[in-house]
């Protein structure tokens, strides 16, 4: 399992592989250590709670690179202009490309509380993004 998240102190983006075996993460910039909490009762590859902040609410989303998404929109825009504003052709093409990429795209899991992203582990059955939960974490109604 690997992690991507922001250092809570200096906001540097950190990435680390194989965090199953790590006790802590160290920020390369400000040297802050972040303790990882593991839950031994669960399968180590199953992520039930966030190892960084211990939040129990996580959601899955497609690991879809934003750059590709923007690229598709740009290409669609160019096609629209070149093809005499027959925008529906571009729309259909975009939808098809989106669909194909989406099918091939793996999932990642994200924490509502600290925004950490987790990849490469057994994904347990989990819901997608829930705006209500997101707002409750943001407004500190839910905490860890």
| Beta carbons within 10 angstroms of residue 131's beta carbon | 7
Nearer to Zn ion (CB atom), residue 55 or residue 108:
55
Nearer to Zn ion (CB atom), residue 76 or residue 111:
111
Q: Which of residues 12-51 bind Zn ion (CB under 5 A)?
A: 12, 27, 29-30, 32, 50
Q: Is 52 in the site for Zn ion (CB under 5 A)?
A: yes
Q: What is the rounded CA–CA span in Å between residue 71 and residue 74?
A: 5
Q: How far is the CB of 91 from Zn ion (least distance, A)?
A: 37
Residue 125 CA: distances (Å) to CA of 19, 70, 79, 89, 128: 21, 29, 39, 37, 10
Among positions 90, 113, 118, 137, the unique one binding Zn ion when judged by CB under 5 A: 113
């Amino acid at each position: 399992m690997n992690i991507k998240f922001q250092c809570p102190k200096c906001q540097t983006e950190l990435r680390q592989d194989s965090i199953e075996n790590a006790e802590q993460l160290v920020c390369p910039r400000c040297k802050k250590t972040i303790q990882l909490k593991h839950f031994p009762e669960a399968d180590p590859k199953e992520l039930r709670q966030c190892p960084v902040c211990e939040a129990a609410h996580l959601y899955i989303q497609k690991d879809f690179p934003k750059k590709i998404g923007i690229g598709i929109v740009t290409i669609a825009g160019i096609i629209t202009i070149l093809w005499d504003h027959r925008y529906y052709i571009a729309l259909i093409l975009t939808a098809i490309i989106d669909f194909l990429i989406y099918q091939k795209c793996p999932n990642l899991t994200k924490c509502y509380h600290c925004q950490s992203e987790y990849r490469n582990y057994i994904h347990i059955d989990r819901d997608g993004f829930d705006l209500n939960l997101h707002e409750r974490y943001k407004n500190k109604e839910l905490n860890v």
